[in-house]
A and B are shown apart, each in its own frame.
Chain A
Amino acid sequence: MIVSTERTISVTVNGVPRETTVPARRLLSDALRHDLQLTGTHVGCEHGVCGACTVLVDGTPVRSCLVLAVQVDGKAVTTVEGLARDDGRGGEILHPVQEAFRECHALQCGFCTPGFLMTMAAGLEARDRSTDITEDEVDEIVGGNLCRCTGYANIKKACRHAAGLMKEAAE
């Protein structure tokens, strides 16, 4: 028997309060992409393995293909579209991880990139910015996402670079 119960949820997405009605079974990844048309979040495996769909839920990285949309009712979700800040003049200020990815050639096809950016942004924001990042920290931050293009060398480089930018900004 196919039962499709709908629920209306309130969720703050990239700082904007949104209300949407979704079937109870709708994955958060699909709700973001198809109901809210935030297609920057990508789906690579639907099993929570690759990390491409990673978003922040109340600041914590979450694989949006493993979460139902109804589970984020009342919470705040940040997607890659919300990572840069508004500069107040119609432009945007990129997050240091975005700057670093561009500077270090840490992306090729770009499909896994949003997941890496969200994971790395959360990881770097959670650490003590006054210290230099260690290789163990870099490995920890980039170690859970799959990329098929870059071989990770430049993603690790971008992680170090972003940590450096964040350290400078904190000084």
Chain B
Amino acid sequence: MAVDIKSKVCGSRESRVGSITGYSGTLSDIKQQLSCSGCPGEKKRCFSQAAACASGCALGQASEINDIAIVHHAPAGCATIAGIKPDFDLLAGAIGRSRDHFGYVCTDMTEADTVFGSTENLREVILETYRRYKPKAIFIGASCVSGVIGEDLEGVIEELKEELPIPVGAIHCEGFKSQIWASGFDATYHAVLKYIVKPPKKKTNKVNVIGFTAGMAWNTRADIVRLLGVLDLEPTFLLAASNVEELEHISEATASITTCSTLSSYMGIGLETAYGVPFIRSLQPHGITGFEDLARQLAKVVGKEEKMEEYIRQERAIYIPQIETIAAQLKGKRAMIAMGPNLGANIARVLQEFGMVVEHLSAWHFDRQYDDGTRPKALQYLIDNSPTEINYSVNHLQNFEFMNILNRVKPDIFVSRHPDSAIWSMKIGVPGYCVYDEYNVFGYKGTLRFGKTLLDLITNRSFTENLAKHVRLPYTDWWLKQQPDAFLEK
């Protein structure tokens, strides 16, 4: 079991590693099931709310590359993803990089296309896109329509090989093929590995830092540069504000690290399998334990453990007393978490470091393993170390379920990560915090900041309570009295 970077498609998480989108139980039940049957089985829902599809994650990630063009073979509505283009201009502009060769175009599939197919137009659009933007690579973004009517994307790519001097590849992110939007990350990383990354010619002191936004918010980038600097290493941030030339050489890196293994596992494992770049399988660098685990494992790869221990000692002296002051005030506060599976398990550990009680942990989907067969480290750590039992659900972004749970648990705070989630807890008077930026809780400094923010939110409830007084939930009383898993098949 591994990543085959040459294969046509990488496939969905459901099919590759048995990931699921529906479960209701406890952490200890998951432990039990993982040790016996290998995985909690998928439970389907007979009522559902709109989740998200793989194409958003896939083409959103791909759009972060500064000098590629995306040709979305889809009806116009799918291609509204292009709206993030000006925002990535801001991101790249902040570090002085150009996006003049980036393009996002759509083939605007119509009813006639669904009947007769439109690979000929697709081909023309790709050529025209090249003429317009002179990108360093072009990715065709697949869609439900292109998938259902069976458009031969690989055939088009094959035809264009002779005509264009740049790589043309496909990102297979057809929305109906996976219920897990993270499959879209894999689809894009597969395309990057297959079409852009070149075999290594030398070893460099670069570290692939796989995340969402390259640490641009609040300049956490500087903290990462500083951490790597201790080991005489330098970051290559993926994929935000990256360019094709950088990506060609990521096979030469010393190692790959990540803030989110739900996002990055396919890329990390793919680079390791194909080119021997060590993928650091640590906890993620959120909170004290996570940060130190990553720092030490990375130091070990380059044999500079002592230098890192010195750095850790210095940083601890500054930050640990401050973190302890905050933790003393957070101790015993009750929390509910709803996030992607990996970040959620990491954040649960951080809250426990503060002495908080994690009442319920909800994961948008559940990965029992990654493509190398290993268990996600943060999940395993939680299973082995959680001081209390945690109710655990796999939620698929089902608002009606987590609102039902929140309404029962009534925690002191709800911590989430996804647009349109934390705000919902505020509607019932529970302060919510969206851990939006992946470096929010990075290292000692981030941990302190996160703890202080949680404490402030719990203390000053004005906004939340004012809002709650003036809005009502769109759910029936009947539903709020049902068990939250009532619509999960038994």
A and B are interacting partners: no
